[in-house]
Amino acid sequence: MDAPADARRCAVDIGGTFTDLVLVDTHTGSLYIEKTPTTPDNLWTGIADGLRRAQVDAAALAMLVHGTTVGLNTFLEKKGAPVGLITTAGFRDVYEIGRVNRIDMYDLFYRKPEPLVPREHRLEVRERIGPAGEVIEPLVEDDVRAAADHFRRHGIRAIAVCLLHSYANPAHEERVAALLAECYPEAQVSVSSRLVREWREYERTSTTVINAYIAPRVSAYLAEMEAGLAGMGYRRPLFIHKSSGGVMSVRTAQAQPVHTIMSGPAGGSVAAAFVGRQLGFENVIAFDMGGTSTDVSVAWQGELRVTAEAKFERHPVMVPMVDIHSVGAGGGSIAWVDPQGALQVGPQSAGSVPGPACYGRGGREATVTDANLLLGRLRPASLGGAMTLDRDLAREAVAAVARSVGLDVTAAAAGIIRIVNTKMSHAIRAITVERGLDPKDFALVAFGGAGPMHACALAEELNVARVVVPVLPGAFSALGMLAGDVRHDAVRTRPQPTEAADPASLAGEFEAMEQELAAVIADEVGGQVPVDFQRFIEMRYAGQEYVVRVPVPAGRPFDRDLLADVRADFDRLHEQAYGHASSTEPTEIINLRVAAFGRLPRLELPPLPAGGEAPPDSALIDRVECIFDHAAGPLPTPVYAREELLAGNRLPGPAIVVEKGATTVLNPGFHLTVSERGHLVIDREGR
């Protein structure tokens, strides 16, 4: 890609309620955001509308990135295509048997995830490959043809193929795909080893089936969008945001739509890491608090933590995704009193309809938003001016809860906030402390409608050093989509004792994976971009199950010394994560992983005009009484308009900063500095 670095870029992120469109033009120094209602029945119409409304000249765009929920919604709403599954003879039920576990162990009526392929459409072919990739029984090709006939007869055109040990040797799966292409060319085939070269047959099957299930809809939708954009004059490749936090081409997304399943939320994580890097913070907690839930994720030493163990409604999906931990706590979370008399918050949410009591849309139950309003942290007109919040309704709702637990209204409101903060802090602990990371080494990047309101309290709770409220906290995921690179991942399961491993053959494996990935990237961007690779070896102590992902140092010859260093790093990471390690214990190599990044021109955010330490007078728009700590009572608190703040301005807490779609609450004991690019950097006093 030869696009100039200062060209215009646009991201379109479709959410359940709104479609966010962000346009960055560093040439003119503009950062533009447009929110349009999502049009679920014809998504492209809504997007096209937004582009027109934002007066985007598609022909002048250097890059357009799209975060899509079509794949996820197709899955969640169970509106995918009928799928047929081809398995190794004797194993068609692996997909239905699953892992036999009962997560809710006292539930006598526990249900497994409903298979997306009914048993009569799970067909077996005779073949067998062994754990070392050896062919034990050749593929009986007539079985494949018979399966194709069956699927054709039943009008099934989405086919998933998952054979045992295909991660070790995909030859039979590839042959099945080739035969299907020959005798049933209309079928859209998903092949497990093309999606994930890792062991665990149930999880790989589930991943492949979901891919097949959502592929027809995602493909059609992306084709429509591509054509529509071309009609508007867009001439560059359309990129689709991946769950792993990078982007891919439309063609790849059509073949492997399972990579889009966390497309949107991953954008927020990427953006948080991006903003962190810009500000010089390598370790970042992304804290995205919305109306119904809070998503948290971590970037450690500049890199997003990625997992391949995600589940959706108990269906495992084994492809790399940003490791996002969700908790049912948001602005709309309802406060209630359980039969034991305990005050609870969430996970039920008032959603946007009827919404919190203070919205005046018929909601009667007290929510976190109502509590914030009563405590003075949220201003009655602060939701973008479109709606005025009703304090009386909020008070009435919170009072009902307060009575049942014997507290006064303010104490109950403060309690609701404390409890929801506790839940969110446990979510953050789960992705930091439980993995051996100390929150005090992190900056908390707070976004989403409610994130900036709770960030200071969480920073205190978790002993986080620093809070950042970035620009565009209300459309932050879309911003992240512009900050990513083209990303593709490869994995090979190659179990072997580390001590006996042959460095040359490992190096060969890595190089082969890298070549494959580089070719994909070159093909996708239609030219040359610099490609960086990160290699990882996943190891464990011999006999353990869980692996630790160890980065392989770059730029060194792959030899015994390097392996010894990787081994030493493994001990260190194991100790860090789990509190013990043993350098004398034998270890095993399990998986080789490569992440390839096709580097796109760096996103530059426009700078904010500079000002002095004191904010301009125009920024101070109000003074309110606000409660931060119930015991301390209300404090006089100035309210600032964010759009009036200048780079270099400093505000001491307590203070409130309002902008369209978000409110930042600066607690006493914190002070805020506006960064060069407009991010609000919040530090605790005395640190």
Residues 575-614 contacting another protein, CB under 8 A: 577-580, 582, 585
118 or 362: CB nearest another protein: 118
User: Rounded to the nearest whole angstrom, what is the least distance from the CB of residue 377 to another protein in the complex?
Assistant: 17
List of residues 6+ apart from 490 with CB closer than 8 A: 197, 513, 516, 517, 593, 594, 596
Q: Site for another protein (CB under 8 A): which residue of 55, 77, 153, 340?
A: 340
155 binds another protein, rule: CB under 8 A: no
92 close to 115: Cβ distance less than 8 angstroms: no
- Output the CA–CA distances (angstroms, integers) from residue 24 to 21, 46, 96, in the order listed: 10, 20, 47
84 or 276: CB nearest another protein: 84
Q: Site for another protein (CB under 8 A): which residue of 29, 37, 40, 130?
A: 130
User: Rounded to the nearest whole angstrom, what is the least distance from the CB of residue 585 to another protein in the complex?
Assistant: 7
Buried b (16+ CB within 10 A) or exposed e, 148-181: beebeeeebbbbbbbbbbbbbbbebbebbbebbe
199 or 213: CB nearest another protein: 199
User: Rounded to the nearest whole angstrom, what is the least distance from the CB of residue 297 to another protein in the complex?
Assistant: 17
Report the length, in residues, of the chain: 687
Please give the Cα distance from 112 to 84 (Å, whole number).
20
86 binds another protein, rule: CB under 8 A: no
146 binds another protein, rule: CB under 8 A: no
User: Rounded to the nearest whole angstrom, what is the least distance from the CB of residue 328 to another protein in the complex?
Assistant: 13
User: Rounded to the nearest whole angstrom, what is the least distance from the CB of residue 579 to another protein in the complex?
Assistant: 5
Q: What is the dihedral of CA 647, 649, 652, 657, to 10 degrees?
A: -60
Query: Tokens standing for 678?
Result: 């407009």
78 binds another protein, rule: CB under 8 A: no
List of residues 6+ apart from 557 with CB closer than 8 A: none
Which 179-218 residues touch another protein, going by CB under 8 A? 199-203
User: Rounded to the nearest whole angstrom, what is the least distance from the CB of residue 100 to another protein in the complex?
Assistant: 3
Query: Tokens standing for 343?
Result: 């005050």
561 or 578: CB nearest another protein: 578
Please return the burial class of 532, using the count of CB atoms within 10 Å of its CB with bins 0-12, 13-18 and 19+.
exposed
Which 415-444 residues touch another protein, going by CB under 8 A? 415, 418-419, 422-423, 426, 429-430, 433-434
User: Rounded to the nearest whole angstrom, what is the least distance from the CB of residue 338 to another protein in the complex?
Assistant: 8
Please give the Cα distance from 164 to 172 (Å, whole number).
10
203 or 485: CB nearest another protein: 203
37 or 130: CB nearest another protein: 130
263 or 667: CB nearest another protein: 667
Query: Tokens standing for 505?
Result: 């053959």
User: Rounded to the nearest whole angstrom, what is the least distance from the CB of residue 96 to another protein in the complex?
Assistant: 7
Which 539-568 residues touch another protein, going by CB under 8 A? 541, 543-546
Number of residues that bind another protein (CB under 8 A): 71
Kindly report the CA angle at 641 between 636 and 647, in degrees rounded to 5? 110
313 binds another protein, rule: CB under 8 A: no
Please give the Cα distance from 687 to 684 (Å, whole number).
6
379 or 494: CB nearest another protein: 494
Q: How many CA atoms lie within 13 A of 44 on its CB side?
A: 14
Neighbours of 143 (CB within 10 A): 18
97 or 621: CB nearest another protein: 97
44 binds another protein, rule: CB under 8 A: no
Q: How many CA atoms lie within 13 A of 266 on its CB side?
A: 32
629 binds another protein, rule: CB under 8 A: no
Q: Which helix (H) or strand (E) holds 76?
A: helix 70-76
Which 513-542 residues touch another protein, going by CB under 8 A? 541
Which 89-128 residues touch another protein, going by CB under 8 A? 90-94, 96-112, 118-120
| Longest Cα separation, the chain | 81
Query: Tokens standing for 664?
Result: 């930042």
Q: Site for another protein (CB under 8 A): which residue of 302, 495, 553, 634?
A: 495
User: Rounded to the nearest whole angstrom, what is the least distance from the CB of residue 450 to another protein in the complex?
Assistant: 19
User: Rounded to the nearest whole angstrom, what is the least distance from the CB of residue 159 to another protein in the complex?
Assistant: 19
- Give the binding range for another protein (CB under 8 A) out of 64-72, 302-310, 336-344, 511-519: 336-344
399 binds another protein, rule: CB under 8 A: no
167 or 442: CB nearest another protein: 167
406 or 609: CB nearest another protein: 406
Query: Tokens standing for 160?
Result: 């998933």
Please give the Cα distance from 95 to 192 (Å, whole number).
13
**DSSP class of 615:** P
622 binds another protein, rule: CB under 8 A: no
